[in-house]
Amino acid sequence: MTKNSQIIRFFRNRIPTFKCVPGCHDCCGPVTASSEEVARLPIKTESEHATALAEYNCPYLGKAGCQVYEERPLICRLFGTTPRLPCPNGKRPNVMIAIETEREIHRFLTETRQILL
């Protein structure tokens, strides 16, 4: 396991979870992910990527929601857990992410190669 994969796992364990509004995918737009995160996702064609981007969606957003929910990138996991990335429907965990953990995640995202999904 690479160092970045270990860091990603560490952060995943520190991001609180909550239940989304069923059928809502308002925060499932184009995002970036580290190359380690992308390597764990199914390969999408150029056409699938282009279609998703044209619709301001993620290529992993299907009719029933996120097709890669268990492997979703850190940025997706942050939505709704911090005031900086609020849920459009006001959902949130009981306890928001620790500010220092959020800062560390953003620092990691800026220091690693990011790929547009």
| pLDDT tens digits for range 46-97 | 999 999 999 999 999 998 889 999 999 999 999 999 999 999 999 999 999 9
> If 0-12 CB within 10 Å is exposed, 13-18 middle and 19+ buried, where does residue 87 land?
middle
Q: How many helices (H) and strands (E) does the chain have?
A: 5, 4
How many structural domains comprise the chain? Answer: 1
Could you tell me the residue range of the domain that residue 95 belongs to?
A: 3-116
Distance CA 49, CA 44 (A): 7
- Assess contact for 57 and 115: CB atoms under 8 A: no
| pLDDT tens digits for range 12-54 | 999 999 988 888 888 899 999 999 999 999 999 999 999 999 9
CA nearest to 107, candidates 30, 7, 18 = 7
| pLDDT tens digits for range 17-28 | 998 888 888 889
Phi and psi, residue 93, nearest 5°: -75, 165
Distance CA 12, CA 6 (A): 10
